[in-house]
Structure 1
Amino acid sequence: MIRVLVVEDSATVRQFLREALTRADGFEIVGEATDGAAAVELCRRLRPDVITMDVVLPVMSGLAATEQIMAHAPTPILVVCSADRRELFTTYDALAAGAVDVLEKPRGDASDDTWGHRLRTAVKVVSRIRVVTRRLPVPPPHPDGAGTPGPPPGVRAIAVGASTGGPGAIVRLLRALPAEFPVPVLYVQHLASGGAFAQAFTGWLAEQTGRLVGYARGGEALSALGGRVTMAPPDRHLLVRGGHLQLSAGPPRHSCRPAVDALFESVAMDLGGNAAGCLLTGMGRDGADGLLAMRRAGAVTYAQDAGSCVVYGMPREAAALGAAAEVLPPEEIGARLAAVGRRSPGALSGRLAWRTPS
């Protein structure tokens, strides 16, 4: 029996949640809260297995409640939110604070017919995730990487992969890079939802880091992407071929498309030792084999450490294979990578006048 605390101030949406969860065996609603402060107290008292969390709440916001819960009574949190852009930005703030997944609220259209099933599936998956205490605020970044070794000269791209907990980890890594960082960052993030959720993620990440962030379109030359963060779009693998980006609708890997392994393996083949690979928090093993391929090709490789992960799955598999040269928190990985900008060839200089996205 999965014990669920429902946090939602709308009586209508609470009814949707209640009916969806009680329609099938295996779920018990142990409490309901209509504001963030009550959610924190009920979590402390009831110790549920999963919390469904709205982000727009009275008294205390869902974001603040998530921060309090993850700092004092770590519990798997499924954010249930609308597709409004600002609410989605707050949702990603909650994911960065330790929430583990997101589900869009019922839309009032035909998609609601399967919403209950999707909710129950998401709650089951979230309930299996072992979460850890998240100390807040996030430790300050190391903007210049002074005194830390970095990848060798000639690095043409940094490949990064993440799943559950990835939004918070990638922000910590990117904030540790200098403002005028010249190397392209290619990023695969497992996102459960496409559409507005996926579009909002790039805007949120740009706002959090002050960097240019966008989805790959296919055909871009790495030499034209200096310093940008370029993501695999929803439902497409991101590959590097002949120094250019390619998108693929090939079969999922580890039930994922985009898959981290697909990116890492293509980078190993195309760039060899002129690349760096970083595997961050996530459930499963996607990226472990690809990171090993990168290391064998001569690339510098990193995996996130257990203490800073929301889910120590993918990085653990990489460490077990010997795929990671170093296992570190995200901000320390960023500090290692910071030296790339000072040691990479000057061919990209002149492209690197960073401006915070408006």
Structure 2
Amino acid sequence: MIRVLVVEDSATMRHLLRESLAADPELQVVGEALDGAQAVEMVGRLRPDVVTMDMMLPTMSGLAATEHIMAEFPTPILVVSSADRQELFTTYNALAAGAVDVLEKPRGDASDAGWGRRLCACVRMVSRIRVITHPRARLAGRNNRAEAPPPPPPPPSGAPLSAVVVGASTGGPGALTELLRSLPPTFRTPVLIAQHIAASEPFAVAFSDWLGGQTGRAVSYAVDGTPLHALAGRIVLAPPDRHLLVRDGTVRLSNAPPRHSCRPSVDVLFESVAADCGPAAAGCLLTGMGRDGADGLLRMRARGAVTFAQDETSCVVYGMPREAALLGAAVHIMPPARIAARLAELTAAAGVRR
């Protein structure tokens, strides 16, 4: 049995969650919390396998409860949230603090059909994830960043980077925030990102605004036909349910079938950049479940690109980076802040050589 703690202040929503979860014989509701403080206490006492977490709670918010839980009793958390804009941003903050996934609350329209089955499927998926004490959620001095060890010296030769490409899935919002915050303000190489977002479109669309606010950088969704050189200094995301790729120095979007059940697919992005940019690119594969991106990162390395995979200790889910490491696709395996420092060294070295 998968033991679930439901955290929700609305009696109506609690009833729906309870009834939906009861329909699955593998799931058992072991408690219901009406506010964040009660949620933290019950997680410590009941030690559930999964927590479903509302964001807008009395006494202690869902975000604060998530931070406390991930600092004190690391537990897979599924955020069950509405698509209200304020709540969307709080939801992404919770994902950055260690929550694993998000499911939109019922809208009260035809899209609600099968919502209970989707909830049960999400809970089962989340229960399989081995979570860690999340770095952002270490409450003692959590605003003090540890000094990253100095990166290794750059190679003596190499082409200037025309693109940095990044792939991420579960745990990606936090890892991307750490990587992008750690890049120097002078970093001008375009950064193209394929982030798996399984939530509904309102959640996915808000991601660019949230990431821009978290990192202080210009973040936008890709526009088909944009020349790569026109994106200097920008962070570009694959739009919801579209593949992002580079062809003839131009950003392209595609509705081609999913790869590894994913659209956008990290492999599609990485393989296109391997073919188009060769050694003038860097690829970074961050936390996530599955193997999307591992083959593409190997293709990039074979074409002379610098390749990175996130290390196991800093990953929420050590799936995609692990597959890349097993293939020998990653030249460097390190946490996101170290990856950023290495990228800065590479671009600085290239600038000196030009």
- TM category (shorter chain) comes to over 0.9
Contact persistence 2:151–2:338 (CA under 8 A): no
2:254 corresponds to 1:248: yes
Contact persistence 1:188–1:258 (CA under 8 A): yes
Query: The residue matched to 1:339 in structure 2 has which SS?
Result: helix
Distance in 2 separating the partners of 1:118 and 1:149: 48
- The residue aligned with 1:213 is 219
Amino acid at match of 1:307: T
Distance in 2 separating the partners of 1:38 and 1:335: 41
Instruction: Provide, for residues 224-267 of structure 1, a one-character-per-residue CA deviation record: whole Å limited to 9, x for no partner.
Output: 00011101111111111000011111111111111100100110
- The residue aligned with 1:51 is 51
Q: After the TM superposition, which residues 75-224 of structure 1 pair with which residues of structure 2 at under 5 Å, given as runs?
A: 75-135=75-135, 136=138, 137=142, 140=145, 148-150=152-154, 152-224=158-230
Q: 1:180 to 1:190 in 2, by over 3 A?
A: same
Q: CA RMSD in A?
A: 1.7
Query: The residue matched to 2:9 in structure 1 has which SS?
Result: coil
Q: CA deviation at 1:180?
A: 2.4
Q: CA deviation at 1:217?
A: 1.7
Distance in 2 separating the partners of 1:142 and 1:249: 42
Amino acid at match of 2:30: V
Give me the TM-score of the superposition, normalised by structure 1: 0.93
111-120 vs 94-103, which moves further: 111-120
Instruction: Provide, for residues 185-207 of structure 1, a one-character-per-residue CA deviation record: whole Å limited to 9, x for no partner.
Output: 00000001242101111000000
Amino acid at match of 1:312: Y
Q: Percent identity?
A: 64
Amino acid at match of 1:330: P
Contact persistence 2:51–2:76 (CA under 8 A): yes
Contact persistence 2:151–2:342 (CA under 8 A): no
Q: 1:103 to 1:331 in 2, by over 3 A?
A: same
Structure 2, gaps ≥5 residues long: none
Instruction: Provide, for residues 251-287 of structure 1, a one-character-per-residue CA deviation record: whole Å limited to 9, x for no partner.
Output: 1111111110010011000000000000000001110
- The residue aligned with 1:319 is 325
Per chain length, whose mean CA-contact separation is higher, i.e. which structure has more relative contact order (CA < 8 Å, sep 6+)?
Answer: 1
Amino acid at match of 1:233: P
Query: The residue matched to 2:241 in structure 1 has which SS?
Result: coil
Structure 1, gaps ≥5 residues long: 347-358
Q: CA deviation at 1:111?
A: 1.7
Q: CA deviation at 1:139?
A: 5.8
2:232 corresponds to 1:226: yes
Q: 1:275 aligns with which of 278, 281, 301?
A: 281
Q: 1:253 to 1:101 in 2, by over 3 A?
A: same
Amino acid at match of 2:92: Y
- The residue aligned with 1:35 is 35
Q: CA deviation at 1:150?
A: 4.6
Distance in 1 separating the partners of 2:183 and 2:202: 28
Amino acid at match of 1:140: R
Amino acid at match of 2:254: S
Contact persistence 2:291–2:319 (CA under 8 A): yes
Q: Runs of 4 or more off by more than 3 Å in structure 1?
A: 145-153, 343-346
17-26 vs 197-206, which moves further: 17-26
Distance in 2 separating the partners of 1:343 and 1:309: 29
Contact persistence 1:141–1:175 (CA under 8 A): no
Contact persistence 2:104–2:200 (CA under 8 A): no
Amino acid at match of 1:28: Q
Amino acid at match of 1:110: A
Give me the TM-score of the superposition, normalised by structure 2: 0.94
Distance in 2 separating the partners of 1:141 and 1:343: 25
